[in-house]
Chains A and B, each alone.
Chain A
Amino acid sequence: MLKIRNGRDFVGGAAMIAVSLMFIGFGRELDIGNSFQMGPGYFPVMLSLLLIGIGVLIMVQSLVVAVRDEPDAPANWKAYILVILAPVLFGLALSHLGLAPTMFLMVGAVSCASRYAGWRHSIALALFMAISSVVLFTRLLSLPVSAFGPWIPFLGN
């Protein structure tokens, strides 16, 4: 009976195989051509096949070779979710709220990812970032974003 001796590598190898299958699957419309006249699909498909091979090797290795593995740091899901999702919300809100409120909200939200943040510090930092980004990016570097967007009454434009 085969036993998985290195769970991390087993998952890693499987992930690489999944990535290659995705590239092959989404690229099945692309013309592969032949090695003389390669079509647009040739390079990605050959690479994907190679990556499947490597993924299989990594998985086989994870069944054969055991490792002494240092345990991971405990997962901090709050931090992951905040840090990954806050930029997405920033992108969605920017054109509606404008730079200043969006930056304020994003920095404020993302600060909560740290266990040392206090609300006074966070609000001060968020204000500082909102003001300095408006000065730096809309005034000095004249990026085409307004400080306040159409969703903000009176100030927005």
Chain B
Amino acid sequence: MDIFSDLLLGAATAFQPVNLLYGFIGCLLGTAIGVLPGLGPTATIAMLLPITFGLQPESALIMLAGIFYGAQYGGSTTAILINLPGESSSVVTAIDGYQMARNGRAGAALATAALGSFFAGTVATLLLAVAAPPLAAVALKFGPAEYFSLMILGLVASVALASGSLLKAFAMIIFGLLLGSVGTDVESGMQRYIFGIPELYDGLNFVAVSMGIFGICEILRNLENEHERSVGVKKVTGLMLTRDDFRRIRGPVLRGTALGSFLGVLPGGGAMLSSFAAYALEKRISPNRAEFGKGAIEAVAAPESANNAGAQTSFIPMLTLGIPGNPVMALMVGAMIIQGITPGPNVISEEPELFWGMIVSMWSGNLMLVVLNLPLIGLWVRMLAIPYHLLFPAIIGFCCIGAYSINNSAFDIFIMAGFSAVGFALSKLHFEPAPLLLGFILGPMLEENLRRAMLISQGDPTIFVRSPLSLLLLGVAVVVLGLVLAPSISRKRDEAFTE
């Protein structure tokens, strides 16, 4: 099997009319929610998960992936035009992108963002196609001890790269792991924390939990600082880039793509971190750094390439190891489980159509986004005129009915409402909800592998350091932790997140 026949197989799946259609819907929805501030990809994917139950697994995952990377495109549009980043990953784009728009170069900024994103998306997709199979082959050799160590590494790294206090992030992971232990214990069949409620036999439903923690909770936060939005956008002209522009963005796009591809693979990484890092890098090494902050085209090209590359490569750990690196990937893992697919290294060999179809669809989706975004820019800008007080009741309505449709029972609506209160209280206490969701998803797998490993070693915990692979993974986790605790780095980390 060489990569070309694999990609051909993927193309056969991705270019089926129905999958093209769902890919298109995903990109369209993704762009829309990217444009709308206050509605992010995590909340949207959580909200739409119940609707995907009835679809083919390929169509469902292609659509959900489209929402995720479509949001990166849409977020940059509003960042550039009205200095209002629709997504956290386009916060840095707003700095110079908006200045470019004020100088009458909005078209050039938008074109730079779109072309940079497309280039980065293409490279990152190829990288995914090349890197995923060997990685999965290594992971197939993993025993319970190695899996346990891998998940520990994933959790530690996601803490290291999250913002805010480390202790609190660890607390959230453990809280999430505890919530994951609700339900029937796989090994003994004992019921844990069920309180006699039959709906809890399979555990807390993660769609309902994430809709509460990300969807509804976000609305509560937005309603606290509600502003009337008034949008005045000039007509966008001049989408063509000059020869000089191309010369200036070549380097930043390449560097942004490389940096984003690398950071996206790391657990907890992904789009936001990539764009911040790429901006910081360009600010240091660009020959035009004096222009930064006043409308430098490099400062748009680099973060936009990086966030798209990072969004794309963050699929690698999810597809090859079954380990989600960020909340969106956690939802994708959930979507696979709902479709009856066990995420992990077996996906490539057991579901080749799904795996390669998804990869090819990411490339075709990126192409659709370029075509979709540049001519339709006027439509997206007009969407901004939808006031938030009409938007959020509709979101709550769809969340309610989505939660109901998980099991056709009102119980999941109550779970959703309960967790919106929990999530809101936690955010008031400055606890981040993202590590909680990762812990919640990984909890059952972590416990199962821990118990199996300890059973194999007859209760000897040194099994985790006797296997060289497991030792290596734990060693990396310790190094990552050490790096974050080192004072100089933690100061840098604070700067990066407050900037």
Q: Are B410 and A73 in contact (CB under 8 A)?
A: no
Q: Are A47 and B459 in contact (CB under 8 A)?
A: no
- Report Cα–Cα, A129/B190, bound state, in Å: 43
Most chain B beta-carbon contacts within 10 A, residue among A38, A61, A75, A85? A38
Q: Are A16 and B224 in contact (CB under 8 A)?
A: no
Given contacts A35-B454, A141-B51, contact A116 B389 (CB under 8 A): yes
Q: Are B461 and A121 in contact (CB under 8 A)?
A: no
- Report Cα–Cα, A30/B177, bound state, in Å: 17
Most chain B beta-carbon contacts within 10 A, residue among A34, A51, A95? A51
Given contacts A115-B226, A137-B405, contact A19 B178 (CB under 8 A): yes
- Report Cα–Cα, A6/B379, bound state, in Å: 47
Given contacts A43-B181, A54-B171, contact A87 B399 (CB under 8 A): yes
- Report Cα–Cα, A127/B219, bound state, in Å: 21
Interface assignment of B400: CB less than 8 Å from any CB of chain A = yes
Interface assignment of B451: CB less than 8 Å from any CB of chain A = yes
Number of interface residues of A (CB under 8 A): 73
- Report Cα–Cα, A25/B14, bound state, in Å: 51
Q: At the interface, is chain B mostly helix, strand, loop or mixed?
A: helix
Interface assignment of A149: CB less than 8 Å from any CB of chain B = no
Q: Are A87 and B216 in contact (CB under 8 A)?
A: yes
User: Which residues on the B side are within 8 Å of A74 (C-beta)?
Assistant: 224
Name which residue of chain A comes closest to B194, CB basis: A26
A60 shortest CB reach to chain B, Å: 10
B376 shortest CB reach to chain A, Å: 23
- Report Cα–Cα, A11/B223, bound state, in Å: 24
User: Which residues on the A side are within 8 Å of B431 (C-beta)?
Assistant: 12
Binds A, one of B132-140, B256-264, B390-398: B390-398
Q: Are B450 and A58 in contact (CB under 8 A)?
A: no
Given contacts A121-B389, A133-B397, contact A19 B175 (CB under 8 A): yes
- Report Cα–Cα, A115/B23, bound state, in Å: 37
Interface assignment of B168: CB less than 8 Å from any CB of chain A = yes
Most chain B beta-carbon contacts within 10 A, residue among A88, A99, A122, A145? A88
Q: Are A50 and B174 in contact (CB under 8 A)?
A: yes
User: Which residues on the B side are within 8 Å of A94 (C-beta)?
Assistant: 404, 410
- Report Cα–Cα, A81/B76, bound state, in Å: 34
User: Which residues on the A side are within 8 Å of B187 (C-beta)?
Assistant: 38, 40
Q: Are A133 and B401 in contact (CB under 8 A)?
A: yes
Binds A, one of B99-107, B296-304, B413-421: B413-421
Interface assignment of A8: CB less than 8 Å from any CB of chain B = yes
User: Which residues on the A side are within 8 Å of B455 (C-beta)?
Assistant: 36-37
- Report Cα–Cα, A27/B183, bound state, in Å: 12
Q: Are B178 and A111 in contact (CB under 8 A)?
A: no
- Report Cα–Cα, A80/B224, bound state, in Å: 9
Q: Give the size category of B's interface with A.
A: 35 or more
User: Which residues on the B side are within 8 Å of A48 (C-beta)?
Assistant: 178
Given contacts A38-B454, A84-B421, contact A125 B223 (CB under 8 A): no
Q: Are B393 and A54 in contact (CB under 8 A)?
A: no
B199 shortest CB reach to chain A, Å: 12
Q: Are B416 and A51 in contact (CB under 8 A)?
A: no
- Report Cα–Cα, A42/B451, bound state, in Å: 10
User: Which residues on the B side are within 8 Å of A87 (C-beta)?
Assistant: 216, 396, 399-400, 403, 413-414, 416-417, 420
A125 shortest CB reach to chain B, Å: 5
- Report Cα–Cα, A121/B458, bound state, in Å: 66
Interface assignment of A152: CB less than 8 Å from any CB of chain B = no
Cβ < 8 Å to B, chain A residues 68-108: 72-76, 79-80, 83-88, 90-92, 94-95, 99, 103, 106-107
Which A residues form the contact surface with B (CB < 8 A)? 8-9, 11-12, 15-16, 19-20, 23, 26-27, 30-31, 34-44, 47-48, 50-51, 54-55, 57-58, 61, 72-76, 79-80, 83-88, 90-92, 94-95, 99, 103, 106-107, 110-111, 113-117, 121-122, 125-126, 129, 133, 137, 141, 143-145
Can you name 17 A-B pairs with beta carbons within 8 Å?
A12-B168, A15-B429, A16-B175, A23-B178, A43-B451, A44-B181, A47-B181, A54-B167, A73-B225, A79-B224, A80-B424, A85-B417, A92-B410, A113-B392, A117-B389, A141-B405, A143-B401
Contacts A9-B430, A106-B397 known; 17 new A-B pairs at CB < 8 A: A12-B168, A16-B171, A27-B193, A39-B188, A41-B192, A43-B447, A51-B175, A54-B167, A72-B428, A83-B396, A87-B216, A107-B393, A107-B397, A121-B389, A121-B390, A129-B394, A137-B401
Which B residues form the contact surface with A (CB < 8 A)? 51, 54, 165, 167-168, 170-171, 174-175, 177-178, 181, 185, 187-188, 190, 192-193, 195, 216, 219-220, 223-226, 228, 387-390, 392-394, 396-401, 403-405, 408, 410-411, 413-414, 416-417, 420-421, 424-425, 428-431, 447, 450-451, 454-455, 458-459, 461
4 closest residue pairs by CB, A with B: A36-B459, A91-B410, A91-B413, A114-B389
